[in-house]
């Protein structure tokens, strides 16, 4: 590989020059990967183009002493193109590399002849990937090996030794900080008030070929196709039997598509009036109705608050005996710990009184049973749901539980600045969902602490609501709250004391 010095850092690249007169194609790898991911695709292209590959900042052989951010990567690529005196190129990017290619085209449209974007995640609103990113950040801190396993499962289909070796070799050259920072940057961008994904797509001027994997686990091909229509000059293709790293799963298919795209005149495709009208209607629906959760199709939900445990996968209930081998307690604990947790933390919470060897053995048996529960289901997406390493356990899905959502909504209400009557109505609706024995079938000290914590939050909220209503001198609403709030009063006699004081408050108001 050749070397390009940029300040204190070194960038490694390789320029496969077939003939000077031929088109130059720049291949941009994914976050965590390196230029080696393009080997199969380059071979399948058969020397039809001049090809530039490089290891971007802090990846592969390239160094990166500072923080990694999208503007830095755009500048780095532009510097490399100037260094090689390449005035016109065609960009091909995969996943995060596709984001980099798209942003580069928006910054420097005159230099970019076309874009081929593989598995572009469309970096939608922050909520789409906040939970997924949170799990990845947890795994980076807790267990790098398990993070790598999750990355592999979300990237290729099927998983093979060759793909695993290539991915893990690339990942292990990248420091944790350089893996986390770019994703956090995208999430922060998506939070800003002026973030406009659709407007950004409409500004893309070069012709674009979108290629999306049939089995992309994070952003489904059907939704990607709809978003691709916002690019004025676009073509969209689904790569069969492929996940997100299409150059590893389907190098020949991707190469054939790309060659055909490059040979075409790349004029905007004109749809029939009926088709165009339908697409416009769909686009209007997306703009008006698009909800963050649309993008998720690996949703695990545990329901526990109604006295029985039910587990759902993408809205369908999973059959299984959740009362056996502390399966429900274990699953709930993992979910409430953001989907990734150390084995020792589980032991401390669920079996604090057992001898360490006995506790570890019991956890091993429980994990094996939970893994078997998921693995025995017909749905293939459940077979790799539970990720287990020597030290850490994680869930390879967007996992939530009703008790966790309940506590979150309570906390939101506690800090809410809504009018007191609005807060009072919300609080009373929370009380309707609360039952003192709702977690009675869950065993262990930790579960009792969780139940006590929920009641303490409700008690705190009760006192806060009553004090605010007293300031408003709203005796009628105070009486209503006291009647329904007795089951969460902070101590016996609390509500009776307030009731007795209502008479005096009534006299003062007269």
Same domain, 147 and 229: yes
Structural contact between residues 244 and 132, judged by C-beta atoms closer than 8 angstroms: no
Using DSSP's 3-state secondary structure scheme, residue 296 falls into: coil
Q: What is the mean pLDDT of residues 462-489?
A: 93
Same domain, 208 and 245: yes
**Domain assignment of residue 80, yes or no:** yes
Quote the strand ranges of 290-364, DSSP E. 299-303, 310-313, 316-317, 340-342
Using DSSP's 3-state secondary structure scheme, residue 46 falls into: coil
Among 293, 319, 350, identify where a domain stops: 293
Mean pLDDT across the chain: 89
Same domain, 323 and 383: yes
Structural contact between residues 88 and 111, judged by C-beta atoms closer than 8 angstroms: yes
pTM of the full structure: 0.75
CATH number at residue 305: 1.10.10.10
Q: How far apart are CA 348 and CA 356, in angstroms?
A: 9
Segment 349-393, tens digit of pLDDT:
999 999 999 999 999 999 999 999 999 999 988 988 999 998 999
CA distances from 138 to 54, 180, 296, 300 (A): 29, 10, 19, 18
Percent of the chain residues topping a pLDDT of 90: 67
Segment 495-507, tens digit of pLDDT:
999 998 887 766 6
Among 401, 429, 445, identify where a domain stops: 401
CA distances from 367 to 164, 300, 335, 388, 389 (A): 24, 17, 14, 8, 11
Q: DSSP secondary-structure letter at 126?
A: H
Cis peptide before 158 (omega within 30 of 0): yes
Same domain, 223 and 334: no
Structural contact between residues 52 and 77, judged by C-beta atoms closer than 8 angstroms: no
Same domain, 365 and 433: no
Same domain, 114 and 173: yes
Structural contact between residues 134 and 68, judged by C-beta atoms closer than 8 angstroms: no
**Number of structural domains, the chain?**
3
Which residues does 68 contact at the CB level (< 8 Å), separation at least 6?
57, 58, 177, 178, 181, 182
**Domain assignment of residue 410, yes or no:** no
**Domain assignment of residue 18, yes or no:** yes
Angle (deg, nearest 10), helices 445-472 and 420-433 = 150
Same domain, 263 and 316: no
Q: How far apart are CA 54 and CA 14, in angstroms?
A: 6
Among 256, 276, 293, identify where a domain stops: 293
More confident residue, 292 or 240: 240
Show the domain range for 387.
299-401
Burial of 116 (0-12, 13-18, 19+ CB in 10 A): buried
CA neighbor of 26 nearest in space, from 110, 117, 107, 106: 117
Same domain, 252 and 309: no
Using DSSP's 3-state secondary structure scheme, residue 266 falls into: coil
Segment 303-330, tens digit of pLDDT:
998 888 999 998 899 999 999 999 999 9
**Domain assignment of residue 408, yes or no:** no
Q: What is the mean pLDDT of residues 104-119?
A: 96
Using DSSP's 3-state secondary structure scheme, residue 237 falls into: strand
Burial of 377 (0-12, 13-18, 19+ CB in 10 A): middle
**Domain assignment of residue 173, yes or no:** yes
């Amino acid at each position: 590989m050749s070397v390009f010095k940029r300040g204190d850092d070194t960038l490694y690249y390789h320029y496969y020059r077939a003939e000077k007169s031929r088109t130059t194609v720049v291949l941009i790898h994914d976050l965590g990967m390196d230029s080696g991911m393009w080997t199969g695709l380059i071979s399948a292209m058969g020397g039809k183009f001049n090809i530039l590959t490089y290891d971007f900042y802090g990846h592969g052989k390239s160094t990166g002493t500072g923080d990694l951010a999208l503007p830095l990567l755009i500048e780095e690529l532009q510097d490399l193109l100037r260094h090689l005196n390449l005035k016109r190129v065609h960009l091909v990017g995969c996943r995060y590399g596709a984001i980099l290619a798209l942003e580069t085209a928006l910054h420097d449209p005159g230099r970019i002849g076309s874009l081929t974007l593989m598995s572009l995640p469309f970096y939608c609103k922050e909520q789409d990937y906040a939970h997924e990113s949170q799990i990845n950040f947890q795994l980076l801190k807790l267990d790098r090996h398990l993070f790598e396993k999750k990355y592999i499962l979300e990237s290729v289909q099927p998983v093979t030794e060759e793909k695993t070796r290539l991915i893990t070799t690339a990942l292990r050259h990248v420091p944790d900080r350089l893996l986390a920072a770019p994703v956090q940057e995208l999430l922060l961008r998506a939070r800003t008030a002026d973030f406009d994904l659709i407007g950004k797509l409409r500004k893309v001027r070069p012709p674009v070929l979108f290629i999306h994997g049939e089995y992309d686990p994070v952003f489904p091909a059907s939704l990607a196709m709809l978003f691709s229509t916002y690019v004025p000059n676009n073509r969209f293709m689904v790569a069969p039997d492929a996940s997100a790293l299409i150059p590893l799963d389907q190098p020949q298919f991707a190469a054939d598509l790309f060659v055909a795209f490059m040979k075409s005149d790349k004029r905007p495709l004109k749809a029939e009036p009926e088709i165009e009208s339908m697409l416009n209607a769909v686009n209007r629906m997306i703009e008006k109705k698009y909800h963050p959760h649309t993008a998720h199709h690996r949703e695990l939900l545990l329901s526990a608050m109604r006295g029985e445990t039910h587990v759902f996968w993408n809205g369908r209930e999973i059959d299984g005996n959740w009362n056996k081998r502390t399966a429900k307690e274990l699953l709930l604990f993992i979910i409430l710990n953001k989907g990734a947790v150390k084995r020792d933390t589980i032991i401390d919470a669920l079996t604090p009184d057992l001898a360490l060897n006995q506790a570890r053995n019991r956890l091993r048996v429980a994990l094996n049973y939970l893994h078997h529960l998921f693995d025995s289901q017909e749905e293939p997406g459940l077979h790799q749901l539970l990720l287990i390493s020597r030290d850490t356990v994680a869930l390879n899905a967007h996992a939530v539980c009703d008790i966790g959502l309940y506590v979150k909504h309570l906390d939101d209400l506690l800090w809410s600045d809504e009018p007191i009557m609005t807060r009072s109505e919300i609080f009373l609706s929370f009380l309707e969902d609360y039952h003192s024995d709702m977690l009675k079938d869950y065993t262990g000290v930790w579960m009792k602490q969780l139940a006590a914590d929920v009641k303490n939050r409700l008690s705190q909220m009760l006192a806060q609501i009553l004090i605010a209503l007293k300031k408003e001198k709203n005796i009628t609403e105070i009486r209503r709250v006291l009647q329904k709030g007795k089951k969460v009063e902070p101590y016996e006699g609390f509500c009776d004391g307030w009731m007795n004081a209502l008479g005096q408050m009534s006299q003062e108001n007269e």
